[in-house]
Amino acid sequence: MIKSMTGYGKHIAETENTKIIVEIRTLNSKQLDVNMRLPSYFKEKEIEMRKQIAAILHRGKIDIVVSMEQNTVETAPVIDIDIAKHYHSELKTLATAVNQGDFEDYLSVIVKMPEIFVQKEKELEDEELNLALDCMQNALIAVDKFRISEGEDLLADFTFRCNNILSLLDDIDNYDKERIVRVRDRILSNLKKFLGDHDVDKNRLEQEMIYYIEKLDITEEQVRLRNNCRYFLENLNNEESSGKKLGFICQEIGREINTLGSKANDADVQRIVVLMKDELEKIKEQLFNIL
């Protein structure tokens, strides 16, 4: 099973007075790169949360936002009395200075002033901290399911393109016998033009022809390319997703395709090699997003 590194997950956990929200987005990355934004209440649980993340997501650029809403009287904003008194004194002084000494509705003005209301800090109970960890775990599981779903689409595409390469390899078999005949005829024709009526040692010529045609033989490359493609397909269906290993196999596939093209010395085979390279490049583009 392969997994994409692109994913999204969100989970909300609620108690009577508390609501915790965890939202996660992931993209491809060579390493595990975690960016967390969480309230100060949860700082003591950050290391534990990071362990949860590494255990499930393993790799990728991961952005996590943890937020909390509390609906209790204990956490409701309160008025800062000292600041309110300060504003009241300043407003009275201002009223006197502008000849508005009879003004009395100071409260309606004061409550609109900045920093009048302050949020009370409340120590979280163990129940709420554990709820945050459970919420994180469920959000991570949601991301993992998303990655698996994306991986299934990629699996279908990889299988299709790898089978296309194997099909093109079968097409080369159809051209190969004709290719050897064309190469041999071309050599003989060039020799005839070059030597004219001069006699040729046919035994030596045959030896040279065998040597030259053996250098053009692509059977070994065809066998290795077919084996590498099958190995790639086998690893697509492994229980563990391994994008790096699939990338290494793709490098070997590309090496065999290039060697096959350089040795073929034939226009028809070169055309098929170009089509193979096109399919392989499409696989490589998507492999960057595999876990």
How far, in Å, are 13, 278, 291 from residue 63 at the CA level?
19, 34, 16
Least confident of 110-114, 132-136, 159-163, 164-168: 110-114
Rounded average pLDDT over 9-17: 88
Query: pLDDT band for position 203 (50/70/90)?
Result: low
Burial of 219 (0-12, 13-18, 19+ CB in 10 A): exposed
Q: CB-based contacts of 286: which residues, under 8 Å, 6+ apart?
A: 154, 157, 158
Q: What is the pLDDT of residues 151-182, one digit of tens each?
A: 999 999 999 999 999 999 998 877 766 766 66
Rounded average pLDDT over 94-112: 82
The candidate with the shortest Cα–Cα distance to 184, out of 207, 209, 208, 202, is 209
Task: Write down all domains in the chain, each with its CATH number in brackets.
Answer: 7-72+124-147 (3.30.230.10), 77-118 (no CATH), 149-287 (1.20.120)
pLDDT of residue 200: 64
Whether 194 shows a pLDDT value over 80: the answer reads no
Q: Judge whether 147 and 291 are in contact, CB under 8 Å.
A: yes
Q: DSSP letter at 102?
A: T
More reliable by pLDDT, 73 or 291: 291
For 115, phi then psi, to 5°, come to: 70, 15
pLDDT of residue 250: 95
Q: What is the mean pLDDT of the chain?
A: 84
Give the total residue count for the chain: 291
More reliable by pLDDT, 278 or 74: 278
Tokens of 188: 């003989």
Q: Where are the alpha helices (DSSP H) in 201-266?
A: 202-215, 219-236, 243-264
Least confident of 55-69, 98-112, 251-265: 98-112
The candidate with the shortest Cα–Cα distance to 161, out of 252, 255, 276, 238, is 276
Rounded average pLDDT over 71-99: 79
- Mean pLDDT is highest, among 12-21, 110-119, 190-199, 259-268, for 12-21
Q: What is the pLDDT of residues 22-64, one digit of tens each?
A: 999 999 988 999 999 988 878 888 999 999 999 999 999 999 9
Tokens of 178: 């004709």
Amino acid 183 reads: V
Which residues of the chain form beta strands (DSSP E)?
Answer: 7-14, 18-27, 32-37, 60-70, 78-79, 117-118
d(Cα 184, Cα 180) in Å, to the nearest integer? 6
Rounded average pLDDT over 260-269: 81
